[in-house]
Structure 1
C-alpha cells in the first residue's frame, strides 16, 4: 500500500488545580511544587511510512507504523542513547565531586559481573541497559502470584526486555497495561487492554512495536488510577528498597508525571524484578536524591522480598532537578514547563546544566 502520513493530535487540557485527583481514589496533601495551575497542552505526533491497515478487536481499521522502519529507528536511537550514556558515565565516574559518581561505580560493577558470570540474555552486552537476566520469566511468574498484582486493575510496567513477561501476564490476565513511550521520545504513555487485542496479538503487544501498533496514547488529562508499578533496575538493596536504574532518569520522570496526574500516591506498590546477583548492600540511602524511586517488593527467580522501605517516594515533578539538556530530550515536559510559566507569569526553577556527551553534539551537524 502506498505510504501515507499519519498525524495525531493529542489535546491535554488541564484543570485549574495542578493535580487531577478523583476523590474516590486519592487524598493528596498539598505540596509546594504542585500548587502551580495547569492549562491546555497540545502535542502533535507525526509519523511517516504507514504501510497497511490493522483491524482491532472492535472491528475498526487503524493505520499502523511500518514495523521494519519503526524497529530500525528504535534500535538506532537506543544505540545512540547507550553510547551517550557510556560517555557520560565515564565523565561522571571520574569526577569525584559529582553527586552521582558513586552510582556509576555500582552500575558498572553489576554490569561487569553479569557479563562475566554469563547470567544475562539478549540483548548484550548489558551495559547501559536494564539487564535482561537469566530467569526473568520465573521472576515474572512470582510477581504475578502477589496479591498486589492479582488485585490490580491497571499496572504500569517499564518497556524493557526483562519485564516483557510481566507485560504479557498483565494483558493476558485481563488487566489494563500502562507503558511509557521508549525514553518518552514521541509522547507520553500508551494504554493497552485485553479487549483491544485478539488472542494472537497479545504477545506482540508486549513489544515496543506492538505498543506503537495497538496502544492508545494518553495525555496528562487522563483520569486513570494505576494500582501497581513495575520498574526495571540495575541494582537494588533488599534491606532498604534503594534502587539504581540505568542512569537516564526516565523511570523517575515517569513516576513524577503519574504522581502529578494524581494517578498514584504513596500507597501505590512499586515492584522490581531482578536476578539475585543484582541484589547489593552498598547503596547509600543518605546520598539518594529526592526524585529517586524506591521499591516496596523485589522479585527474583528464587525469592520475593518485601523491603518495608522507609525511603520517601517522590511527590511529583521536581523542575529544579531537570537540566536544560534533559528538558531538551522530552518535548512533553518542555511544552508543559513553557505553558505553566506563560500561564503563571513565573519562571519554574531549572536544574544545573549537564555535560553533553560528544554523540549529542555530533547529532546537530
Structure 2
C-alpha cells in the first residue's frame, strides 16, 4: 500500500468508529467531523496560558472548530480563517473583534464570514500565535491527518514561508478523544505535527515537533498552482 492508502485506511477506521459510537452527526464520513463535546474542548483550550497570552489565531473553517473560533473572538483575539480552497489572491478572512458588525457566533461561521469579514493577502497578515487545525485523527506524538484535501498543509507551509508561523507558534488539534489513536501515522515532507491535542477532557502535549520549512515545491502540481494563486508560483516555474 502507498502512504496515501495507509492514511485513507486510518481515516476510514476513525470515521467508522466515531459514527458507531454516535460521537459525531451521521454523514460525517469524508469530513473534518463535528464532535460531541466541542464546546467543552474550546473551554478547556481557553483556560490554558498559551491561549490567554495569544493575540492572533489562525483557524480552519470547518464547523467542528466553530466553538474555538467563537471563543477566540469573544476573548478579543484576531482570527484568520481560510477562504474555501484558498481560491483567491486574498486567501484568508480577517475576523477582527473590534471591527465586526455581527455577533461572534455569526462572524465565525464560514458562511457568515463571507459577508462579515474582509479577505486579506498573506502580506497583509500579522504573525500567528496559535494555529487551530482540523483533524480526522491524531496520535500522541502529534502526527495528524485531515480529510485528505491537503489544504491545511498548504496553509501552514505558506504561512511558514511568509514568516508568519514561527518557532513560537503553537499548533493545536481540538478533537474528540476517539480521534486520538495509538496507530503510527505515515508522514511526508509536507506534513506538520501538532504541539497540543485538546479533547473535551484532556490536554495532551506532543513532541518532537515536525514542520516543513515552507512549501514543498515537488508536491505542487500545475493544477494546484493554477487553483491557488496565493502560492505565488507559476505553473511553468515548477520545472525550473
Q: TM-score interval w.r.t. the shorter chain? A: over 0.9
Q: What SS is found at the alignment partner of 2:193?
A: coil
CA–CA separation in structure 2 for the residues paired with 1:254 and 1:349: 22
The residue correspondences of 1:76-115 to structure 2 (distance < 5 A) are 96=1, 98-115=2-19
Structure 1 residues 306 and 349 mapped into 2: Cα distance closer, same or farther (>3 Å)?
A: farther
Cα distance in structure 1, aligned partners of 2:73 and 2:239: 39
Cα distance, 1:289–1:195 mapped onto 2, change above 3 Å: same
Aligned match of 1:174: 76
Partner of 1:49: none
The C-alpha deviation readout for 1:282-319, integer Å capped at 9, x for no partner, is: 124xx311111111111101111111x11421111111
- The Cα of 1:324 is off from its aligned counterpart by 2.7
Structure 2 stretches lacking a partner, 5+ long: none
1:195 aligns with 2:92: no
SS of aligned partner of 2:157:
helix
- Contact 2:195–2:209, Cα closer than 8 Å, also in 1: no
Q: Which residue does 1:305 correspond to in 2?
A: 204
Task: Report the Cα offset of residue 223 of structure 1.
Answer: 4.8
CA deviation map 1:212-240 (0-9, x unaligned):
112121113225111111111100001x1
Question: Compared with structure 1, are the counterparts of its residues 319 and 181 closer, same or farther at alpha carbon in structure 2 (3 Å cutoff)?
Answer: same
Does 2:228 match 1:330?
Answer: yes
Q: What secondary structure does 2:197 align onto? A: strand
- Mark the structure with the bigger radius of gyration: 1
Q: How does 1:106-255 map to 2 (within 5 A)?
A: 106-121=10-25, 124-186=26-88, 187-198=90-101, 200-238=102-140, 240-255=141-156
Among candidates 172, 179, 182, match of residue 271 of structure 1: 172
Structure 1: runs of 5+ lacking an equivalent: 1-95, 342-346, 351-365
Q: CA RMSD in A?
A: 1.7
Is the CA contact 2:56–2:127 (under 8 Å) kept in the aligned structure 1?
yes
Shift, 1:271, TM fit: 0.5
The answer on whether the counterparts of 1:110 and 1:234 sit within 8 Å (CA) in structure 2 is yes
TM-score (normalised: structure 1):
0.63
